Chain A
Amino acid sequence: MEKLKKLFLLFKTTFLISITANSGYAIISVIRNDFVKKYKWFTEEEMTDYIALAQSTPGPVAVNISMITGYQSEGILGALATVFGVALPPLLVMIIVTYFYNVIIGNKYVEIFMRGMQFGVCAMLLDVIIGLFVNVTKKSAAYSVIIMILSFLYIRLLDYSIFYLVITLIITAVVKSLIIKRRSVKQ
């Protein structure tokens, strides 16, 4: 019973955010609000790990984050609950929208309402970015900021896939950790 309730909560949370927010990253804000602060299923520290994992995986980021948090909370069933939650609303909404295409596309009020929601999404993303930034720069701040700036420049200026960035960063991290190990052995 307890398990069913948890599965339903996982489904409900991801469903509600997916049916309202336009950006996949908005889901981070809700996951932090519900799973970390309200239910305390995992810590903020763990959440940042999950986000990093989700972004190192191809596919819709919202699906990846939901899937990972669902799996970590309640195993395979939890993962299925969150993935259904996140994938169902766009599927249903788009099916309806394609039927009423002309009514919705030309509608000024729908557009103004959606545009207003964008402001909220901006605030949510800013909150997420600041939260993550504080968390990441707690340890080795200089290194983190340099990696952040270089990654940002790569994303904005170069037209290559993020895949190469992920690989490069993993190699950088391994080299860094080996150097630190060697240094501590010498001392």
Chain B
Amino acid sequence: MSLLDILFAFMKIGVLAFGGAYAAIPIVEKEVVFVNGWMTYQEFGNLLTLDELTPGPILINSATFVGMKLKGIPGAICATIGCILPAMIISLILVLIYRKYKKLSIMESIMATLKCMSIALIASTFLRIFIDALFGGGSVSIGNIDLIALPLMIISYLIMRKKKTNPILIMLGCGLINLLVHLII
């Protein structure tokens, strides 16, 4: 397997991965574990844990991890470029089409409909993260409810609505408060 193989495998993933991170994971799994046999199931499981723990888009995290495992830093760079290159080219084409025809009533209708899908997609991700956060990553049961989760979410939401606080600060604040609460209790 060469650097080009890594680049092409991740370009394929980049083209196929529609609809956000969680839709992308099975595609990465198929390409990396089954088609190319670059990782075992165990290793792929570790990758998912790392995805949860590290910042950044999950697809890029996965690409970097796999590339790193196979060929070190050059592999990581190739995998990352592979998964964002098709996305960049296709978005650019779409933006150019959008710019040219955005005044047409058909285009307006298409955008209005796609916006509805975009809300549904974000809502789906929100639901997944919300359930995961509320039950501390465990199974869905009353005993697993993380008591600090809901209050922190509501307070963050209110601060975000009322003041123009930078969302990044709110996120870091949530992390710190959670850490403090767990250290004290």
- Listed in ascending order, the chain A residues whose CB lies under 8 Å from chain B are 16-26, 28-30, 33, 37-38, 48-49, 51-64, 67-68, 71-72, 79, 83, 86-87, 89-91, 93-95, 97-98, 101, 104-105, 109-129, 132-133, 135-136, 139-140, 144, 147-149, 151-152, 154-156, 161-163, 165-166, 169-170, 172-174, 176-178, 180-181
B100 lies within 8 A of chain A by Cβ: no
For the complex, what is the distance from the CA of A35 to the CA of B167, rounded to whole Å? 13
Decide if B118 touches A124 in the complex (CB within 8 Å): no
Listed by A's residue number, 28 A-B pairs whose Cβ atoms lie within 8 Å are A22-B54, A24-B20, A55-B117, A58-B17, A59-B84, A59-B90, A60-B58, A67-B88, A68-B94, A94-B61, A94-B65, A95-B76, A97-B50, A116-B176, A117-B171, A118-B132, A119-B149, A121-B171, A122-B130, A140-B112, A144-B115, A144-B116, A149-B120, A161-B16, A165-B19, A173-B106, A173-B110, A176-B113
Chain B 107-125 near chain A by CB (<8 Å), digits 1 or 0? 0111111111111111111
- Inter-chain CA distance A162–B24, complex, in Å, is 11
Find out whether the CB atom of A110 lies under 8 angstroms from the CB atom of B88. Answer: no
Q: Which residue of B has the minimal Cβ distance to A172?
A: B113
| A174-B106 contact, Cβ under 8 Å, with A52-B115, A162-B23 | yes
A140 to B139 CA separation, bound complex (whole angstroms)? 39
Across the A-B interface, give the 10 residue pairs with the lowest CB-CB distance, nearest first: A59-B87, A116-B178, A90-B56, A162-B19, A120-B171, A123-B156, A151-B120, A94-B64, A120-B174, A177-B109
Q: How many residues of B contact A (CB 8 A)?
A: 96
